[in-house]
């Protein structure tokens, strides 16, 4: 949405004189949290204007240029007045730059402060410069200045005071990366927001404005990398025909500090190189990948590296040749090391043989490899040991590989979270994992400290989010899906931020600064994930959704190609009880956790109720903390979840006055769908589990309107993302 800078002044002039050249246009959500709408509070606006009398910027690197464009565009929208380039003679100027490129900043002697902030951190200071009051945005690098610029704009967007600024901020994690599971035909695996935003056919010559706005949005929340292609990889992306397209995207993203990564198909040396093997210890294979990496770097000099899914769900990998994951990862790592590239090797593996408990497999395979990986390898681990369920305990690998940097993989796209029709704010989910205590170095050894490197002194750190972005006009299908993109970026930057704080920022920038809107909607967002857990998988249930497309309930799924692709494998409901015994009497997956965790989770009485059926097979009459039987509690939770969606609808209805008609109706219609889907989950699951429990639905709860058979026969076709 950025206009050419030089036209902006003319544009604003024409605009303000004619005033009315305005389409009566509702809002389609395209602008994300970067709306830059006019500040409605006049006092605040005047205060901002007084502190923004002009802009001083030296240097014209591509990154500083886009920072300046963003400021000029953003402030024009927020304040209704163009910000002019000026000199230092006036009070109230805004100064942008690094000590290296801006002498007045150098003279402020910020070296000590800046050193602590690393290559991407920034300072925003209210300062006296040459005897005049000024605001300074500075950093050790241009991209740090850009991050500071976005932060500064956010201060205005969220109506903060800017007269006494002393802000310093640096990312806690180095690689903050989106994973796009986008195929070259523009379908998106597990994508629910239309199709891929990468229009490969028109690249390299057509640079869609979306690419720029995508980079702007990412930079505004500190995301600094993007894996363009699906982990179920196609080797074609590594051909010159496609590398020239990758280069075009990398060029478009570079000013915004956004690096491009690709997925590597492990069998590429055979498929496209004509080799007889892809054995990672084969000399020809090593050479092939070294040459391929060199070729990629000739197109993209700052190419970030490879993300690899190997020996999992049918993907080729080193085990095809009797080699280990470390052998495979190291071979690729050597190929990109010279240019500073990294390899992100996914721990989400399961082989063709169904193990006794799929939850154990990643740990079983990777733990023994600790210490065997090259320094430029990150092992990328999903937040939980199964697969992005509404709730999982933290993955047992976190804390278990002190010599191997582990990268967190969250899923932003809502594969198991109602897809694009359910409003689910995921910061509480991410936070729950990050704040979980691994106990590996005693209490307080949180997952966050593993991932940010502070627990084991990792030299390389990273966090990945599987993107929920598509070519829907509003990017994420559900408007509130934008909040998940947003909170992923914010938490990758600073995992200590609260879910409430992040929601507050997002809501203010996306809708309004009115407290009567913010308070109830923020609360609704924070509650939404627990609501979803209740109507889908309460009490530690997991993986009971529809087969293959993962849409809607499917607790009855059984007798499929693999046992661990069924639901009955996970819930193990029987006339006696329900749940997966992962203690020593069962699969003993619990043994993969530190003793401190084992103690807590090992007994039903001490196990947090949200993980009860994850770790224990529990009798239907078992008394839970509420005093109810397990069966009654299960029913109550399903009903509560569905009822809470009804309350969400009311909450949203009450917010109508604060939202334009198009976005209001968008969310309203989706909440209605969500309520239908919540009831579908509730009724289908309660009726199904009742066939085992053989107990009545507790008094006071309405009876499902359909029979179990009706739900079992539901067979949705053409579910997106499948």
Q: Which residues contact a second copy by CB under 8 A?
A: 1-4, 7-8, 11-12, 15-16, 18-26, 28, 30-31, 35-38, 40, 73, 76-77, 80, 184-186, 194-195, 200-202, 205-207, 209-210, 236, 241, 420-421, 471-473, 660-662, 665-666, 669-670, 672-673, 676, 716-720
In the structure, how many helices (H) and strands (E) does the chain have? 23, 15
DSSP class of residue 440? B
Task: Output 389 or 421, the one with its CB closest to a second copy.
Answer: 421
Rounded least distance, CB 661 to a second copy, Å: 5
- Residue whose tokens read 């005071």: 161
Determine phi and psi for 329, rounding to 5 degrees: -65, -40
User: Cα dihedral sign for 541, 546, 547, 548?
Assistant: negative
49 burial level (CB within 10 Å; 0-12, 13-18, 19+) = middle
Task: Output 198 or 398, the one with its CB closest to a second copy.
Answer: 198
Buried b (16+ CB within 10 A) or exposed e, 367-395: eebbebbbebbbbbbbbbbbbbbbbbbbb
Rounded least distance, CB 670 to a second copy, Å: 6
Q: For residue 435, what are the CA distances in angstroms to 318, 342, 388, 441, 609?
A: 34, 27, 17, 15, 17
Within 10 A of 35 (CB to CB), how many other CB atoms are there? 18
Task: Output 25 or 699, the one with its CB closest to a second copy.
Answer: 25
Rounded least distance, CB 221 to a second copy, Å: 19
- List, in order, residues 6 or more apart from 332 with CB less than 8 Å away: 264, 280, 289, 306, 308, 343
CA atoms within 13 A on the CB side of 354: 8
Rounded Cα distance between 30 and 76, Å, is 19
Task: Output 12 or 497, the one with its CB closest to a second copy.
Answer: 12
State the Cα angle at 151 between 146 and 157, rounded to 5°.
Answer: 130
Task: Output 75 or 533, the one with its CB closest to a second copy.
Answer: 75
Determine phi and psi for 179, rounding to 5 degrees: -105, 120
Task: Output 701 or 719, the one with its CB closest to a second copy.
Answer: 719
Sheet containing 93-97: give its strands across. 54-57, 93-97, 132-139, 122-129, 166-169
Rounded Cα distance between 414 and 366, Å, is 27
Rounded least distance, CB 238 to a second copy, Å: 13
Conformation bin of residue 207: beta by default, left when phi > 0, alpha when psi is -120 to 50? beta
- List, in order, residues 6 or more apart from 35 with CB less than 8 Å away: 77, 157, 509, 510
Task: Output 3 or 111, the one with its CB closest to a second copy.
Answer: 3
Q: Hey, which bits of 120-211 come out as E strands?
A: 122-129, 132-139, 166-169, 175-179
Within 10 A of 13 (CB to CB), how many other CB atoms are there? 11
Rounded least distance, CB 27 to a second copy, Å: 9
Task: Output 237 or 589, the one with its CB closest to a second copy.
Answer: 237
Task: Output 47 or 673, the one with its CB closest to a second copy.
Answer: 673
Task: Output 81 or 526, the one with its CB closest to a second copy.
Answer: 81
Within 10 A of 356 (CB to CB), how many other CB atoms are there? 12
Cα 558 vs. chain centroid, distance in angstroms? 31
Rounded least distance, CB 458 to a second copy, Å: 38
Residues in the chain: 722
Rounded least distance, CB 462 to a second copy, Å: 30
CB 506 within 8 A of CB 444: no
Cα 219 vs. chain centroid, distance in angstroms? 14
Rounded least distance, CB 606 to a second copy, Å: 43
Task: Output 8 or 591, the one with its CB closest to a second copy.
Answer: 8
Rounded least distance, CB 25 to a second copy, Å: 5
Q: Which helix (H) or strand (E) holds 259?
A: strand 259-263
Q: Which residues are catalytic?
A: 313, 387, 415
Considering only CA atoms, which of 600, 605, 637, 636 is closest in space to residue 618? 605
Rounded least distance, CB 473 to a second copy, Å: 6
Rounded Cα distance between 345 and 223, Å, is 19
Rounded least distance, CB 191 to a second copy, Å: 11
């Amino acid at each position: 949405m950025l206009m050419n800078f030089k036209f902006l002044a003319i544009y604003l002039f024409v605009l303000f004189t004619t005033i009315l050249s305005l389409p009566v246009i509702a809002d389609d959500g395209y602008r994300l949290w970067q709306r830059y709408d006019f500040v409605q509070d006049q006092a605040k606006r005047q205060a901002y204007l007084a502190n923004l009398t002009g802009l001083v910027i030296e240097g014209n690197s591509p990154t500083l240029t886009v920072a300046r464009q963003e400021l000029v565009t953003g402030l024009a929208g927020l304040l209704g007045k163009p910000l002019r380039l000026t000199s230092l003679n006036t009070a109230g100027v805004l100064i942008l730059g690094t000590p290296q490129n801006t002498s007045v900043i150098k003279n402020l002697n910020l070296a000590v402060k800046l050193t602590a902030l690393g290559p991407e951190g920034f300072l925003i200071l209210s300062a006296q410069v040459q005897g005049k009051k000024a605001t300074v945005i500075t950093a050790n690098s241009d991209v740090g200045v850009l991050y500071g610029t976005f932060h500064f704009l956010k201060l205005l967007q969220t109506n903060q005071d800017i007269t006494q600024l002393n802000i310093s901020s640096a990312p806690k994690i180095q690689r903050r990366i989106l994973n796009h599971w986008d195929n070259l035909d523009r379908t998106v695996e597990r994508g629910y927001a239309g199709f891929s935003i990468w229009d490969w056919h028109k690249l390299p010559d057509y640079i869609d404005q979306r690419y720029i706005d995508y980079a702007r949005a990412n930079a505004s929340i500190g995301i600094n990398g993007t894996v363009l292609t699906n982990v179920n990889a196609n080797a074609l992306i590594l051909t010159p025909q496609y590398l020239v397209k990758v280069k075009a995207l990398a060029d478009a993203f570079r000013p915004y500090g956004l690096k491009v990564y690709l997925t590597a198909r492990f069998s590429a040396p055979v498929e496209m190189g004509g080799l007889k093997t892809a054995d990672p210890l084969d000399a020809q294979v090593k050479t092939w990948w070294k040459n391929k990496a060199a070729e990629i770097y000739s197109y993209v000099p700052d190419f970030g590296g490879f993300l690899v899914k190997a020996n999992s769900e049918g993907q080729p990998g080193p085990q095809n040749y009797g080699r280990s994951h470390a052998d495979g990862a190291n071979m690729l790592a050597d190929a990109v090391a010279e240019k500073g590239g990294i390899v992100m090797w996914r721990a989400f593996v399961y082989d063709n043989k169904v193990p006794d408990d799929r939850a154990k497999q990643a740990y079983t395979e990777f733990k023994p490899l600790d210490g065997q990986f090259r320094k430029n390898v990150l092992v990328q681990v999903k937040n939980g040991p199964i697969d992005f369920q509404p709730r999982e305990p933290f993955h047992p690998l976190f804390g278990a590989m002190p010599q191997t940097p582990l990268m967190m993989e969250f899923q932003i796209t809502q594969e198991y979270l109602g897809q694009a029709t359910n409003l689910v704010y995921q910061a509480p989910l991410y936070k729950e994992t990050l704040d979980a205590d691994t106990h590996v170095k005693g209490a307080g050894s949180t997952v966050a400290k593993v991932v940010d490197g502070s627990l084991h002194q990792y030299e390389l750190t990273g966090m990945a989010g599987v993107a929920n972005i598509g070519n829907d006009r509003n990017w994420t299908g559900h408007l509130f899906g934008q909040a998940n993109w947003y909170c992923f970026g914010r938490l990758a930057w600073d995992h200590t931020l609260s879910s409430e704080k992040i929601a507050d920022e997002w809501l203010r920038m996306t809708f309004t600064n009115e407290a009567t809107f913010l308070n109830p909607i923020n609360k609704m967002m924070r509650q939404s994930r627990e609501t979803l857990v209740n109507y889908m998988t309460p009490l530690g249930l997991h993986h009971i959704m529809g087969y293959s497309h993962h849409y809607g309930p499917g607790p009855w799924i059984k007798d499929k190609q693999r046992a661990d692709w069924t639901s009955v494998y996970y819930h193990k409901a029987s006339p006696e009880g329900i749940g997966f015994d992962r203690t020593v009497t069962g699969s003993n997956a619990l043994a993969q956790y530190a003793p401190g965790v084992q103690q807590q989770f090992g007994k039903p009485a001490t196990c947090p109720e949200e993980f009860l059926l994850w770790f224990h097979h529990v009798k239907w009459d078992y008394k839970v903390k509420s005093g109810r039987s397990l069966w009654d509690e299960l029913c109550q939770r399903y009903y509560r979840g569905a009822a809470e969606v009804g309350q969400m609808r009311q909450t949203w209805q009450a917010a109508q006055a604060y939202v334009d008609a198009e976005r209001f109706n968008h969310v309203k219609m989706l909440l209605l769908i969500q309520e239908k889907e919540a009831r579908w989950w509730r009724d289908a699951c309660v009726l199904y589990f009742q066939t085992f429990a053989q107990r009545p639905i507790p008094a006071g709860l309405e009876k499902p309107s359909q029979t179990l058979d009706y739900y079992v026969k539901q067979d949705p076709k053409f579910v997106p993302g499948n």
